[in-house]
Chain A
């Protein structure tokens, strides 16, 4: 996938702003909805958000550190690496929600959570918007970051940002479903995939 850098960052920013709005909506829901567990083994809305908090706790400092250390200049286009693109797309929720396994340390199921989880996530999203601004000042192709799945590889920063934000999208959708979004008001706030007006070919190689 090759895309003008500005377009990529704008899209990711727009998604993150949307995510902030969704969090605000979630904050208005009663605790019983937020704690509601659709099936015995599935996550409640708060657990989904806590899962995202844990990812943010790993990725945000990592991303910030790499940006701060970089002396590169921004490039006009971003070219996805094959495995970075694979991971980013894997995160995107598919029409029929594709189940994925999670790592134990990232699994918050049955932990005691409250609305502060949402506040923490709101802060994480604000942080992410700042990181996206900072990311515009360096080369998204050249700067690489570690990933949480394995120490074996690093991803281009542009791909890491996609992974993180697509992952937020995935679990926010799950959270909205878990909270039993009866009016469907929240559901309408999500992006449709592939993104509208997006004629890019999503191929893995």
Chain B
């Protein structure tokens, strides 16, 4: 099950009820707010980050074709410290948690589907955890390049560098190799 299939499924069941456009550098969500929506990025790109002292720490990206959720808030219904900000003008389609919950309760098949979605999310989290724990910048770069080559076409270098926990100079050096 890949992202496109999940989106097609939600689409076919009429879960994307509305759309919004977020202008470049505007916030979709700010730290401390509750946001339980599921967003599908139709166009543009954005990034999810938290604030650590003076620094932004990038959690993940959303770009054309991806789903983006403030997952902690989605699961708990409580405020989360995550910010979501548009890198460029971004068009999103929105499915609410409520309609998604109705959808998964509809049938055993939909429940199974939710379980496999969760499994996919856990695996992604594990990969991200490895990213952060691996010492060598080269390795970190290679892993992400292999996993999400589109990232490097859609997201400016400075954001990717932050995501990889390295300086923009280091990243551009690695890319030249």
Q: Taking beta carbons and an 8 Å cutoff, which residues of A are in contact with B?
A: 82-83, 86-87, 90, 101, 147, 149-150, 152-153, 203-205
Q: Given the complex of chains A and B, what is the CA–CA distance between A150 and B112 in angstroms?
A: 23
Pick from B1, B4, B109, B113: contact of A152, CB below 8 A: B4
Between-chain CB contacts (< 8 Å), 9 pairs: A101-B14, A147-B8, A149-B8, A149-B11, A150-B8, A152-B5, A152-B8, A152-B11, A152-B65
Q: How far in angstroms is the closest Cβ of chain A from B33?
A: 29
**Taking each of A152, A204, A205, which has the highest tally of chain B beta carbons within 10 Å of its own beta carbon?**
A152
**Taking each of A82, A90, A150, A205, which has the highest tally of chain B beta carbons within 10 Å of its own beta carbon?**
A150
Q: Given the complex of chains A and B, what is the CA–CA distance between A87 and B9 in angstroms?
A: 8
Q: How far in angstroms is the closest Cβ of chain B from A136?
A: 28
Q: Is the pair A205, B5 in contact by a Cβ cutoff of 8 Å? A: no
Q: Is the pair A83, B109 in contact by a Cβ cutoff of 8 Å? A: no
Q: Taking beta carbons and an 8 Å cutoff, which residues of B are in contact with A?
A: 1, 4-5, 7-9, 11-14, 65, 109, 112-113, 116
Q: Is the pair B9, A86 in contact by a Cβ cutoff of 8 Å? A: yes
Q: Given the complex of chains A and B, what is the CA–CA distance between A149 and B8 in angstroms?
A: 7
Q: Given the complex of chains A and B, what is the CA–CA distance between A101 and B99 in angstroms?
A: 14
Q: Is the pair A153, B5 in contact by a Cβ cutoff of 8 Å? A: yes
Cβ–Cβ < 8 Å partners of A147 in chain B: 8
Q: How far in angstroms is the closest Cβ of chain A from B95?
A: 13
Q: Given the complex of chains A and B, what is the CA–CA distance between A204 and B107 in angstroms?
A: 11
A82-B1, A204-B113, A205-B112 known; A149-B12 Cβ under 8 A: yes
Q: A83-B5, A147-B8 are in contact. List 12 more A-B contacts (CB 8 A).
A: A82-B5, A86-B9, A87-B12, A90-B12, A101-B13, A149-B8, A149-B11, A149-B12, A153-B8, A203-B109, A204-B113, A205-B112
Pick from B1, B11, B109, B116: contact of A150, CB below 8 A: B11
Q: How far in angstroms is the closest Cβ of chain B from A17?
A: 28
Pick from A90, A150, A205: contact of B7, CB below 8 A: A150
Counting from the closest, the 3 A-B pairs by CB-CB distance are A101-B14, A152-B4, A204-B109
Q: Given the complex of chains A and B, what is the CA–CA distance between A153 and B4 in angstroms?
A: 6
